[in-house]
Amino acid sequence: MPVLTVLEFFHGIGGLRAGLEKAEQEIALPVVTEVTAAFDISSICADTYNHNFEPGKTFTRDVKSLPDSFFIENRSDLWTMSPPCQPYTKRGKELDAADPRAAGLKRLTNVLRTCPSAALPFGILLENVPGFESSHSLSELQDSLRIRGFSFVKHELCPTQFEIPNKRKRFYLVAVKSTKSNILGTARDPPGGHTERRLEEFLFGDPERDYYEEEYKLPAHYLRYQAALDVVTQSSTESDCFTGAYGRYAKGSGSVLSCGSHGMRLFSSKEITRLHDFPELFEYPQHVSELKRYQLVGNSVNVRVVAALSKDLLYAAAQASQSS
């Protein structure tokens, strides 16, 4: 059975890895994937990744420092990446390619443009915020892909389209080294723009009946912005996007849960991780605080959406393998 090797860049807590594995489990294709190396500058992300996947594959290293020789000596079939989003957000001042945090992606873009063809991957999956779509960084990446003979498709997708009651619209690019226009898009279209699944499926216990830990009691500073909070109940079919600022900033960082006579509380990191569709066995190392877990999962990806797009890569790789 063919083995597709994978390089992960900006791996975070492993959402791209989990999505690729989920896709592999859900489709009947004679291919398997194997991550050969995963890069991120965060040691806590690496700890969490290694806690859930086989250790020894992560490198706490800035992607921009990788030499050409690394890509030549470690050629892989697939690249997955979730570059820092701050250069493409208002909170990050929208500096685009001029932001130092965009340097890692710029390095990969240059590698795609200049490295020998034998060092290039067959497929690429990238995730970022919607503002990335109009960025100079994307324009440069697309130019490199076209020059090197890649076909690619762009998506703006939300988990609510995949029957998950959480709003997290993101930009995705899927590319394969093929000039065939129909090699992408074989994965099934998402069900639609809304889900009837309720939040209660993702919660621990009944919030209107069960006592909840003091740790998740609504912080005092949240109450000062009560009118601006997105308050949901266990029967709600939507929740706001949870960001890395959840638990620290009240406005715009994610929904809070009404617990009836118990008042309101924060979602736990485990519940948010469920809404991101991570495997139920996924967990954080004990030394990572709940506030830090909010930050980690808030900066991660939705596994269900990644899995749907990863199927395109796997289908395309299988099709290319059969025709070679």
CA distance 264 to 232: 9
CA distance 244 to 88: 16
* Residue 229 and residue 256 in contact, taking contact as beta carbons nearer than 8 Å: yes
Note the residue count of the chain. Answer: 324
Residues 47-59 as b or e (16 or more Cβ within 10 Å = b): bbbbbbbeeebbe
Residue 85 falls in the annotated catalytic set:
yes
267 vs 70: CA distance, rounded Å = 42
Nearest partner of 152 among 323, 324, 312, 319, judged by Cα: 312
- H-helix or E-strand spanning residue 127: strand 123-128
- Active-site residue among 45, 85, 241, 259? 85
- What gap in Å lies between CA 274 and CA 15, rounded to an integer? 12
Rounded Cα distance between 234 and 146, Å, is 47
Helix (H) or strand (E) holding 51: helix 43-52
Distance between CA atoms of residues 179 and 275, nearest Å: 36
Q: What is the DSSP string of 212-269?
A: --GGGBPPHHHHTTGGG--EE-TT-S--PPP-TTTTT--TTS--EEE-GGG-EEPPPH
Catalytic positions = 85
